[in-house]
Structure 1
Amino acid sequence: MTDPTSSKITVIHCWSAPRSRSTALLYSFEARDDCCALDEPLYRQWMIDNPQIPRPYRTEMIEGAPGWEKEQLSLSDRLQTAMSRHRVIFCKHMAKHAPQFDFKQYPDTETVRHKHVLLIRDPVAVLSSWKQSSEVHGEDIPTASEIGLLDLLQIHAAVSNAAVVLNSDGLVQNPPQILKELCDSLNIPYTEQMMRWKSGPHECDGPWAPWWYHQVHQSVGWNESNHTETRYRTVPVEFQPCLQVSYAAYQYFMTLQKQPVIPFEYEDPRNAHLLVYVGTPSRGGRLIPRIQAGISPWDSSVQGGDAVWEGIRVYRGKLLHLDQHLRRLLNSAKALGFQQVHTKEQITQAIFQTLAANGMRDGAHMRLTLTRGEKYSSSMNPVFNVYGTTLIVLAEWKPTQGRTTYDNVKGVSLISASQRRNSPNTVDSKIHHNNLINNILPKIQANLADCADAIMLDVDGYVAETNATNLFLVDQDGVLVTPSPDHCLPGITRNTVLDLARELNIPIQERRVSLAEFHFAEEVFTTGTMGELTPVTCIDGRVIGSGVRGPITTRLQDVYQTLPERDGYATAIPEFY
């Protein structure tokens, strides 16, 4: 927060590439009673150090022609003069002038603090207007240095990431709010004077203003209407190489912007800063911070939900059922006819890389997504997929019981859905695909009914599964019954529970089961990798059994917890370094 009692002089070094908006910000600070504004005090030295750069005023600037005398002074001299009269000094710098600035020469002292602001702008907007001033800067094809974002990255590193990142687009759209936030970050009071200035030339203008400042000289302040003219911009093809390089830096800076307050808290705060793996067999993969993670708009998962997936849990340094999950993932990819598919070994390595990068050895859940891959043209047609599959490894800190899973002690309530489960006549559930609308619609019904999930029936009216899990019941004779897997995914956890029941000498049946049988069952529970075994205490308003977790459910839960330590069930995660 701003400290109005601070007696320190604040020197603001504003580094930018967009000249018009940085000049407007210069005028904004110049309007303050307590501020001295300096316009590009490093410009002359930059011109001397770069004799190959053409400018129509080069000779006048370097030789100190009439009107250019103050440009002969060093930054230190100009700061000393300004600090003798003002509490705030605003220095407008171009990012490419940073090599002429000695960052070690300007440390904070007991009386002076130096603040750095990085003013960024969407490079699409910068490049679309480049040719309007090419006769002045002398370059028909811009370089990444001229756009300035790469230089801003170096400045950001030079000040140990302590700079304030200011998006000029946000400043134009909402100047009062952004200026207040900027002043707060700089620990200086905001004043309404910053919203307005006089039109025409300004006292702080550098003598090069007649070549560059035509547009900003027509302005009289920031537009307070929060309305900006919509412009449909074109970037020439020959500018694309520059755009590709600059945009990567711009995206990074955008992630450093002050983020809007999210209307929730992460169940585990570590989930706000995850690294996600995204890669292809031919190009390899990379770990991307959560806030920057994404895939191509041409990816098949975006174009048509054309992907397969698996969920895997991490327990005490091990991955439960890893081999079975990867087998099902690759079988699903084969059933859908994916080409150039990641190998099991490549997927395993990506999993270990992701877990290591996030420091996960316990209490985590991974969602693996394998898409048909990126297309070279927008279409649902797989013939346009030429790059191989896209693999996404998304690992989160997620307890087996919590806000994002289920209550495996008290149990949950279910509702029967109006939506029928897909049959093999339409989309075979044994393919673990990403076309989940059939599951999402019942989940919405469950949410509206304040239930955990919804029971889905098959086309003949028998129970298939819930929208997210397999189902079991214990009948009045103590038999463990589960629907036959004709219209459901025969889940890995489901199959494990059947094996454990045999081990515990619990009689089992796989058959068609009606909804009524679940209503009057002694016990009901669901199974899935995410939530393990979850008791069901109510279905469609009917209390199941005694309304609490039953003894057979409890026995199976207890044995299930021992699986990571058993031979043949789990894969050890390598040591992290």
Structure 2
Amino acid sequence: MWSGPRNLSTAMMYAFAQRADFAVIDEPFYGPYLRLTALNHPMRDAILEDRTEDAFAVERSLIGPIPDGRPHVYHKHMCQHMIDGIPRGFMSACVNVFLIRHPARVVASFARGYPDLTADDIGFEAQAELFAHVRSLGQTPVVIDSADIRDDPEGMLRALCAAIGLAFDPAMLHWPAGPKLYDGVWAPHWYRSLHETTGFAGAEGPLPDLTGHLAELVERTMPAYQILEAQKISQVVKL
């Protein structure tokens, strides 16, 4: 699953973790990304101490045996992590899904915890480039919109499962409150509000009204978002 930050990506990981046939992995390239960029992200030292593998060791683990002997594994990836030095060979062995959210909502949400964000931090341009890369591999990547999921979680999860050849599992609609064993070490900073939930939040309200630098970020990243938005899947009729 290819996403940017503040994009329902953790909730989707929690949903897939409720399936008995899935293991989940939370942002496997975060450690190598921070080492390669030297960015001063929240909890940086803890992340580097927890994620000691180099990028190619991470890649080997992603295409190695699935944890806990499960038939499937869900990789929660951040598109902005896929910089030079992060391998992509594993992508050809995966079903690649792209999770999108309107840039205004992403920028408004991310800026609350990381006010000095840049276009690179929110990953829209990287997401469009990765989408093109998956197409170059001969795949037809699936695109799903977080707003559609929040509007109709069951309908959209059914549609996603159908698009990637899985049976829908109603367990995906709910998860236990609190921290999860499979959370990344950065969860205390980024997942606190999600830990209070037990399912998908309802539909979102109007787009946030942004000004200045944040509005400029939205304007810059809209073209990349619109490339994927044009390819998104729709809900299916509930059975």
Q: CA deviation at 1:254?
A: 1.5
In structure 2, what is the equivalent of residue 369 of structure 1? Answer: none
In structure 1, what is the equivalent of residue 171 of structure 2? Answer: 193
Change (3 A) 1:240 1:232: closer
Contact conserved, 1:126 with 1:147, CA < 8 A, in 2? yes
Contact conserved, 2:143 with 2:228, CA < 8 A, in 1? yes
Structure possessing the higher relative contact order (Cα contacts under 8 Å, 6 or more residues apart): 2
Contact conserved, 1:61 with 1:71, CA < 8 A, in 2? no
Q: CA deviation at 1:80?
A: 2.3
Matched, 1:177 2:140: no
Distance in 1 (alpha carbons) for counterparts of 2:165 and 2:211: 41
In structure 1, what is the equivalent of residue 89 of structure 2? Answer: 104
Distance in 1 (alpha carbons) for counterparts of 2:126 and 2:99: 12
Distance in 1 (alpha carbons) for counterparts of 2:232 and 2:208: 24
Structure 2 spans left out of the alignment, 5+ residues: none
Distance in 2 (alpha carbons) for counterparts of 1:80 and 1:260: 33
Matched, 1:39 2:52: no
Contact conserved, 2:97 with 2:143, CA < 8 A, in 1? yes
Distance in 1 (alpha carbons) for counterparts of 2:225 and 2:51: 36
Percent identical residues: 27
Count of aligned pairs between the two proteins:
230
| AA matched with 2:82 | A
Matched, 1:236 2:211: yes
**Under a length normalisation based on structure 1, what TM-score does the superposition of the two structures give?**
0.38
Change (3 A) 1:84 1:60: closer
1:125-524 paired onto structure 2 within 5 Å: 125-134=105-114, 139-140=115-116, 142-160=117-135, 162-223=140-201, 227-228=202-203, 230-231=205-206, 233-258=208-233
Structure 1 spans left out of the alignment, 5+ residues: 1-13, 109-113, 262-577
The alignment partner of 2:64 has SS state of helix
In structure 2, what is the equivalent of residue 24 of structure 1? Answer: 11
Change (3 A) 1:50 1:229: closer
Contact conserved, 1:121 with 1:169, CA < 8 A, in 2? yes
Moved beyond 4 Å, runs of 4+: 69-73
Q: CA deviation at 1:83?
A: 5.4
Distance in 2 (alpha carbons) for counterparts of 1:187 and 1:259: 16
Q: Which digits, 9 at most, give the CA deviation of each residue in 1:335-383, with x for residues without a partner?
A: xxxxxxxxxxxxxxxxxxxxxxxxxxxxxxxxxxxxxxxxxxxxxxxxx
Q: CA deviation at 1:182?
A: 0.7
The alignment partner of 2:82 has SS state of helix
Instruction: Give the one of 76, 90, 99 matched to 2:60.
Output: 76
Contact conserved, 2:142 with 2:233, CA < 8 A, in 1? no
Contact conserved, 1:18 with 1:121, CA < 8 A, in 2? no
Contact conserved, 1:38 with 1:91, CA < 8 A, in 2? yes
| AA matched with 2:87 | D
In structure 2, what is the equivalent of residue 509 of structure 1? Answer: none
Change (3 A) 1:20 1:149: closer
Q: CA deviation at 1:33?
A: 0.4
Q: Which digits, 9 at most, give the CA deviation of each residue in 1:125-161, with x for residues without a partner?
A: 1122333112xxxx52x32222211111110111116
Q: CA deviation at 1:78?
A: 5.2
The alignment partner of 2:96 has SS state of strand
Q: CA deviation at 1:229?
A: 5.0
Distance in 2 (alpha carbons) for counterparts of 1:218 and 1:176: 20
Distance in 2 (alpha carbons) for counterparts of 1:101 and 1:182: 27
Contact conserved, 2:147 with 2:204, CA < 8 A, in 1? no
Structure holding more helix per residue: 2
Q: Which digits, 9 at most, give the CA deviation of each residue in 1:31-66, with x for residues without a partner?
A: 100100000011101011101x1124323332x3xx
Q: CA deviation at 1:249?
A: 1.4
In structure 1, what is the equivalent of residue 100 of structure 2? Answer: 120
Q: CA deviation at 1:84?
A: 6.3
In structure 1, what is the equivalent of residue 77 of structure 2? Answer: 93
Greater Rg over alpha carbons, structure = 1
Distance in 1 (alpha carbons) for counterparts of 2:180 and 2:200: 16
In structure 2, what is the equivalent of residue 459 of structure 1? Answer: none
Change (3 A) 1:80 1:256: same
Distance in 1 (alpha carbons) for counterparts of 2:176 and 2:126: 32
Q: CA deviation at 1:123?
A: 0.6
Change (3 A) 1:199 1:244: same
Instruction: Give the one of 6, 10, 35 matched to 1:48.
Output: 35
1:6-17 paired onto structure 2 within 5 Å: 14-17=1-4
Across the aligned residues of Structure 1 and Structure 2, the Cα RMSD in angstroms comes to 2.4
| AA matched with 2:126 | D
The alignment partner of 1:166 has SS state of strand
Q: CA deviation at 1:230?
A: 2.4
